[in-house]
Amino acid sequence: MSRLAEHFRRGSSFVWLSGTLLAFCLAMILGLVGYLAAKGMGYFWPLPLVQVQTTSGPVLGEITGQEAARAEETAKLQFHVGNRDVFGQDFRWIPTAGLPAAEYPKDAVLIERLEYGPFIGRITSLSHEGQVVAAGPTALPEALNHLAEAGRLRRHIHAVEKGDVGDLNQRMERLRLARRKLEANSDAAGLQKLDAKVAELQTAYDQLQTSLEQSRTQAKAWTLALQAADGQTKDCPLGSIVRVIPANDMTFFSKLGVYLSRLWEFVADDPRESNTEGGIFPAIFGTVMMVLVMSVLVVPLGVITALYLREYAKQGWLVRAVRVAVNNLAGVPSIVFGVFGLGFFVYGVGGGIDKLFFPESLPSPTYGTGGILWASLTLALLTVPVVVVATEEALGAVARSQREASLAMGATKWQTLWNVVIPSATPGILTGLILAIARGAGEVAPLMLTGVVKLAPAMPLDGTFPFFHLDRKFMHLGFHIYDVGFQSPNSEAAKPMVFMTAFLLLVVVVVLNLFALNLRRKLRARLGGSTF
């Protein structure tokens, strides 16, 4: 007993206990990152298509989850059966009890479509303009031959719709606004000229529409007749098929091919089916643009503040207080910045700009609504403390001897700063910037108030004048996660995609952070001293 008490008093077990807690923390982090990576990266690998006979008929699909037996609930398997247009639901839970052995039919295919999610079933035949070209086992290879061409046609249609038609629409809109202005000034000659221009555009538009219509009929020429596991049939034009995957009849390398092509689609394509399928390119692009604009804004703000605080201000209690206040801004909740951005930038400044420069399009706002400029400005404010702190530290670390050498040579204060101090502080400033970017890229709450949207009709950067549209709304990786995971009607089907988005965001933010922190650690090691 006394040995136990002694043992307790010396507390070696508590060392183990605290070690356990730390181990728990570490396991949590690594587990979380690993889980995200596995879930996200694994999503693109083609799963085998499993067919089982249940009492209510055959079920064919990918096995996406399982639940062990518990209390009154029996063990269950979750099947992704697809065919939303036929079955009404993508997933089915099937109790494992009494289930016969699973089959892996070779002729089962998973067909990714533009609409209604994937189709899982079998191909019965391929037809061209109503004539059956191939049936049975020959239909699949034949279809694969024509798929590439159909895809090209689809992309062409899409490009025309988005590029040329969108361009025409924008020009029309600009003419409409110009007309309102002219009408306000009652400029008859101008109006006539304008009408001619409108007519010209209208003919171009009509021509484009006819050629588009032709392409669309062409795209519908090839159709696949499909059959679901329970015997229901469905016709699907080849033009609306993204990919045909005979998952049970594939080599490792063809699976790898599918994996890579899906991965590429994810990072480089537009989203489909209200963001639950396709790619997230606009969100990646929006995030990058927003961060870039933020960087352009935050560096001068932060560096000038730090220069003032460290080099020009008279050091005293006031400057110390200001420094504490600026540092503490980093701890102010991001949503508060969002509220400020909404009230001040969007409604205050944006509303003012609209009244002054865009009165012809009122009451629909141009700058008086959320947009990439306001979001970036808000985030710049949010991250200014990070840059200020890093820059101040870097400025303080420049050796006194170097400054004094420069001053002793007769250089002015500014010359010393510009030629000696700032160059050696640059890595520190960069560290601050990278940390700011990492913080900014991961923030969502303030963006929700200042301009991020679920689906942006146009990118903030495109080919129409003035190319960079600061007033446009944009998509964002973080908001994409929130929106698809929590606001989407079909969030179960979209979950793997959200995992991938989350993983991508995580990788970007973590890599940026680690890079910046390593840089900072190296700088500090060079200078020595404690960080506390």
User: Among residue numbers 284 through 343, which ones bind another protein (CB under 8 A)?
Assistant: 301, 304-305, 307-309, 311-313, 322, 324-329, 331-340, 342-343
Report d(CA 194, CA 202) in Å as an integer: 12
416-455 positions binding another protein, by CB under 8 A:
417, 438, 441-445, 448-449
For the CB of residue 334, give the shortest distance to another protein in the complex, in Å.
7
Binding characters for another protein, 479-508, by CB under 8 A (x = yes): x-xx--xx----x---x--x---x--xx--
Comparison of 256 and 510: residue with beta carbon closer to another protein:
510
For the CB of residue 126, give the shortest distance to another protein in the complex, in Å.
40
The DSSP secondary structure of 173-219, one letter per residue, reads HHHHHHHHHHHHHT-HHHHHHHHHHHHHHHHHHHHHHHHHHHHHHHH
Comparison of 245 and 382: residue with beta carbon closer to another protein:
382
Comparison of 255 and 495: residue with beta carbon closer to another protein:
495
Cis-peptide, bond into residue 489, ω within 30° of zero: no
Q: Which stretch binds another protein (CB under 8 A): 147-155, 264-272, 289-297, 524-532?
A: 524-532
Helix (H) or strand (E) holding 318: helix 317-329
Q: Which residue in 443, 465, 461 sits closest to 452, CA to CA?
A: 443
Binding characters for another protein, 53-72, by CB under 8 A (x = yes): --------------x--xxx
75-104 positions binding another protein, by CB under 8 A:
none
Comparison of 239 and 365: residue with beta carbon closer to another protein:
365
Comparison of 40 and 82: residue with beta carbon closer to another protein:
40
Comparison of 22 and 144: residue with beta carbon closer to another protein:
22
Name which position in 404, 413, 426, 522 contacts another protein (CB under 8 A): 413
For the CB of residue 220, give the shortest distance to another protein in the complex, in Å.
38
For the CB of residue 35, give the shortest distance to another protein in the complex, in Å.
8
Total interface residues for another protein by CB under 8 A: 99
SS3 annotation, 403-457:
HHHHHHCCCCHHHHHHHHHHHHHHHHHHHHHHHHHHHHHHCCHHHHHHCECCCCC
- The answer for 529, left when phi > 0, alpha when psi is -120 to 50, beta otherwise, is left
Helix (H) or strand (E) holding 43: none
17-46 positions binding another protein, by CB under 8 A:
17-30, 32-33, 35-36
Question: By CB under 8 A, is residue 398 in contact with another protein?
Answer: no
Report d(CA 171, CA 165) in Å as an integer: 10
Comparison of 16 and 357: residue with beta carbon closer to another protein:
16
Q: Which stretch binds another protein (CB under 8 A): 6-14, 214-222, 285-293, 426-434?
A: 6-14
Name which position in 12, 186, 217, 401 contacts another protein (CB under 8 A): 12
Q: HSE-up of 152 (CA within 13 Å, CB side)?
A: 4
Cis-peptide, bond into residue 237, ω within 30° of zero: no
On whether the CB atoms of residues 375 and 474 are closer than 8 A, the answer is: yes
Binding characters for another protein, 191-230, by CB under 8 A (x = yes): ----------------------------------------
Binding characters for another protein, 354-373, by CB under 8 A (x = yes): --------------------
For the CB of residue 514, give the shortest distance to another protein in the complex, in Å.
7
Comparison of 321 and 399: residue with beta carbon closer to another protein:
321
CB burial string 254-275: b at 16+ within 10 A, e below: ebeebbeebbebbeeeebbbeb
Report d(CA 33, CA 504) in Å as an integer: 11
Length of the chain: 532
Report d(CA 393, CA 5) in Å as an integer: 50
Q: Which residues pair with 228 in a beta bridge?
A: 121
On whether the CB atoms of residues 240 and 216 are closer than 8 A, the answer is: no
**Beta strands per DSSP E along 100-182:** 109-113, 119-128, 131-135
Binding characters for another protein, 140-179, by CB under 8 A (x = yes): ----------------------------------------
